[in-house]
């Protein structure tokens, strides 16, 4: 989270506020991907990022989700941030001044394809 807010601040964009609800939704999705060994914005139950954020209790007018999976040296917050910064859509989500809140979840599962799974939920109430 600090990497995202540092980048936003360097560009004159307000820092994001951590939301426990968005964090819970992000952790749940990372856990779902790790435990069920898949990588997608659609949950194993067919849920969308917007479903999961709403189910967490966060009422939003705008929202987006970034996901990242990596193993070995690619399994770190810095690598997830770098991957997102090198992707136009993910970078746009992180630096979008419309979003005021964030929740980030990380789960590691040694038996899954990628090992570590990151989810970042961005939203505006």
CATH number of the domain that 43 lies in?
Answer: 3.40.33.10
- pLDDT value at position 41? 98
Number of domains in the chain: 1
Tens of pLDDT along 13-22? 999 999 999 9
Cβ contacts of 89 within 8 Å, gap of 6 or more: none
Domain that holds residue 9: 2-124
Q: What is the model's pLDDT at position 71?
A: 81
Average pLDDT, the chain: 96
CA nearest 51: which of 121, 125, 124?
121
* Cβ count near 81 (within 10 Å): 22
Per-residue pLDDT tens digits for 68-111: 999 876 789 999 999 999 999 999 999 999 999 999 999 999 99
């Amino acid at each position: 989270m600090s990497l995202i807010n540092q980048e936003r601040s360097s560009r004159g964009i307000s820092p994001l506020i951590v939301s426990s609800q968005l964090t819970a939704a992000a952790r749940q999705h990372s856990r779902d991907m790790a435990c069920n060994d898949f990588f997608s914005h659609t949950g194993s139950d067919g849920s969308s990022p917007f479903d999961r954020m709403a189910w967490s209790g966060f009422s939003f007018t705008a929202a987006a989700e970034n996901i990242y999976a990596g193993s070995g040296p690619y399994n770190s917050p810095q690598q997830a941030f770098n991957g997102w910064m090198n992707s136009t859509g993910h970078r746009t989500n992180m630096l979008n001044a419309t979003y005021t809140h964030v929740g980030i979840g990380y789960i590691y599962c040694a038996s899954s394809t990628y090992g570590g799974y990151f989810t970042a939920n961005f939203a505006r109430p």
